[in-house]
Amino acid sequence: MTRLNDPFNAFLDYPQTTVSNAVSGPLAGLTLAVKDIFDVAGYKSGWGNPARLAESQVASRTNSATQRLLDSGAKFIGKTQTEELAFSMIGQNVHFPHPVNPAAPDRVTGGSSSGSAAAVAGGLADIATGSDTGGSIRCPASFCGLIGLRTTHGAIPLDHTMELAHSFDTFGWFAKDLVTYRKVAQVLLTASSPLTRPLCIPALDALVVPECRSVYEKNAFQIMSVVGKPSPLPDPLYSLDDLYWTTRKLQAHEAWETRGAWIEAGDRRLGKATYDRFAFGKTIPDAEVKSETTRRDAFRQWLGDLLGNDGFIIMPTVTDIAPLSSSSPEQFSTFREASIRLLCWSGLAGIPQLTLPLGAVNGAPFGISLLGPGGSDLALLDLAETILHSAVKA
């Protein structure tokens, strides 16, 4: 592996080790970057934290999904930045130079798969792996003008991977184009039946900020011209605020259960915002976890019944374009809290969501999403092919 010229701060400067890949296969000739929460044999996994890196052992095995990409011909070129312990959606790790958003250099990449998004958007890698617990594929994809799929929960194995919140964690990736994206999907996922019934939820559309609303509506209309006019669904079973808090509490609770003992065992030099998110999980009593789990189960059943096997929802990915890199912590927090109300739907239900790079506002990308039933990952990509082909013709 040769050292890359990296103007986007996407890659980590780890000692180089040869990682074998197949010489032929569906991904032959394509380069692969790996988010630094996935083990790659011969490399450490630092999880975006210097204390973790210092105690990390060199991995003897590669995450099995990553290994499947290598066995399909992809060539490993390096490990990419992640936000600290993969628990943020902005893309600014306090311990490293921040990745640059190639599509909007004055704005953030989004996180926590920040380096992977920057690597693909900047043309440094054909494929880059990421994860999505609360939005870490969908958010960077929307910010950087990329395709991004949060996969069905449990569809792709997460062995030899940093666990954050087990009932939310999913494997994902970025790719240079839809053809490449689908090649990766066909290596990792099984086929699904077509999605033929477009739907929308007006309460979700209303979350888009006024500056982005006309672009969102224009691109939603473009999708409708291809797939048909969506049927509006009733308001959610619970309020958007209720779903927000269910997500926040359950994710934070699981994150603290997973990492709390390690965090308290020594000086981990966690950034304040990251520490605060973990520490919030420590405060949630068991009775509250139980009641929020009951709410989540009911929401999952309600949404599953509405989608059936053939329904899909057209919806915004996030509420706004990427915040400026110079934004204040308060501005970042405002964006994050608002966008969780959109991003939480697929996480709570464990179902796939695909964001497509159809729009731009003030020169910055703004994604639009399709949310499908569990196991419909490849069917969403089939829809994307039809939609993007239509967009090119137009």
Tell me phi and psi for residue 132, to 5 degrees: -140, 105
What's the confidence (pLDDT) of residue 242? 98
Going from the C-alpha of 140 to that of each of 164, 262, 368, the distances in angstroms are 18, 28, 13
pLDDT interval class at 389 (50, 70, 90): confident
* Token reading at 14: 């780890």
Contacts of 51 (CB under 8 A, 6+ apart): 266, 267, 268, 269
Class of domain 197-393: alpha beta
Q: Is the pLDDT of residue 1 over 60?
A: no
- Using one digit for the tens of pLDDT, what is the confidence trace for 56-95? 999 999 999 999 999 999 999 999 999 999 999 999 999 9
pLDDT class of 394 with cuts at 50, 70, 90? low
CATH architecture of 31-188: Alpha-Beta Complex (3.90)
The predicted-structure confidence for 93-114, as pLDDT tens digits, reads as follows: 999 999 999 999 999 999 999 9
Q: Where are the domains of the chain?
A: 31-188, 197-393
pLDDT, one tens digit per residue, over 321-347 is 999 999 999 999 999 999 999 999 999
| pLDDT tens string 4-28 | 689 999 999 999 999 999 999 999 9
Binned at pLDDT 50, 70 and 90, residue 235 comes out as confident
Average pLDDT over residues 228-256: 96
- At 214, list the tokens: 């006309």
pLDDT over threshold 90, residue 219? yes
pTM: 0.97
Strand stretches in the chain, DSSP E: 31-35, 75-80, 127-131, 148-150, 171-175, 197-200, 231-232, 311-316, 353-361, 364-371
Q: In angstroms, rounded to a whole number, what is the distance separating the alpha carbons of residues 297 and 143?
A: 31
pLDDT at 255: 98
Domain 31-188 matches domain 197-393 at the CATH topology level: yes
Q: What percent of the chain has pLDDT over 90?
A: 96
Residue 388: is its pLDDT beyond 90? yes
Give the pLDDT score at 391.
72
Q: What is the pLDDT of residue 390?
A: 82
pLDDT tens-digit series, residues 124-133: 999 999 999 9
Amino acid, single-letter form, for residue 50: P
CB-neighbour burial class of residue 66 (10 A; exposed 0-12, middle 13-18, buried 19+)? buried
What amino acid is encoded at 133 in this protein?
T
Residues 11, 317: Cα–Cα separation, whole Å: 26
Handedness of CA 332, 246, 167, 260 (dihedral sign): positive
* CB-CB contact of 347 with 247 (8 Å): yes
